[in-house]
C-alpha cells in the first residue's frame, strides 16, 4: 500500500509495516484523546521513521493516491485536533482567480 508522510512525500510499504503502523496509529489516537502531546509526537515520529526506513519512496511525479496519511510529527495538540475537522488545519484548495 501507499502511505503519505505529510510534509515529506509518499512511500510504498509492505503488509507487515502496514500492520505495525496501524498499531502505532491506535496508540497515537489514544495519546491524542488523553491530550498527551509528547506521546503523540513521539508516536508520529516512530511512524514516520518506520516508513522512511522500510518503505520505498515514490517519485515526485507519481500521481498515485495514498491509502493512508501520516500527520507531521511536530503537530501540536491544537493542530492535531484541528486537523480532523473539515474547517480545520488543512486549508481549502485555492480557487482560480
Partner 1 sequence: MPGLMSRASTIVKAKLSKLLDRAEDPGETLDYSYEQQLVLLQNVKRGIADVATAKKRLELQTAQLEQSVVKLETQARDALAAGREDLARQALERKAAVQAQLQGLDQQVQGLDAQQQKLVSSEKQLAAKVEAFRTEKETIKAQYSAAEAQVRIGEAATGIGEQMADTGLAIQRAKDKTEQMTARASAIDELTKSGALDDLTSSSDALDRELAQMSQSGQVDKELEALKAEVGAGAPQKELGE
Q: Where are the alpha helices (DSSP H) in the chain?
A: 15-34, 37-54, 77-83
C-beta of 70: minimal distance to partner 1 in Å? 6
Q: Residue 7 or 35: which CB sits closer to partner 1?
A: 7
CB of 22 to partner 1, least distance (A): 7
Q: How far apart are CA 14 and CA 85, in angstroms?
A: 30
Whole-number Å distance between alpha carbons of 11 and 65:
11
Longest alpha-carbon distance in the chain: 45
**Shortest separation between residue 26's beta carbon and partner 1, angstroms:** 6
For the CB of residue 78, give the shortest distance to partner 1 in the complex, in Å: 11
Q: Which residues bind partner 1 (CB under 8 A)?
A: 3-4, 6-9, 21-22, 25-26, 28-29, 32, 44, 59-72, 79-80, 83-86, 88-97
CB 54 within 8 A of CB 3: no
Considering the complex, state which of residue 33 and residue 53 has its C-beta at the smaller distance from partner 1: 33
Amino acid at each position: 500500500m501507499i502511505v503519505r508522510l505529510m510534509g515529506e512525500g509518499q512511500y510504498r510499504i509492505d503488509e507487515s509495516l502496514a500492520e505495525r503502523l496501524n498499531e502505532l496509529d491506535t496508540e497515537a489516537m489514544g495519546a491524542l484523546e488523553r491530550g498527551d502531546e509528547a506521546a503523540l509526537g513521539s508516536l508520529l515520529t516512530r511512524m514516520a521513521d518506520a516508513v522512511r526506513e522500510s518503505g520505498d519512496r515514490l517519485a515526485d511525479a507519481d500521481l498515485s493516491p495514498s491509502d493512508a496519511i501520516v500527520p507531521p510529527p511536530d503537530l501540536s495538540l491544537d493542530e492535531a485536533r484541528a486537523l480532523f475537522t473539515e474547517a480545520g488545519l488543512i486549508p481549502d484548495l485555492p480557487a482560480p482567480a
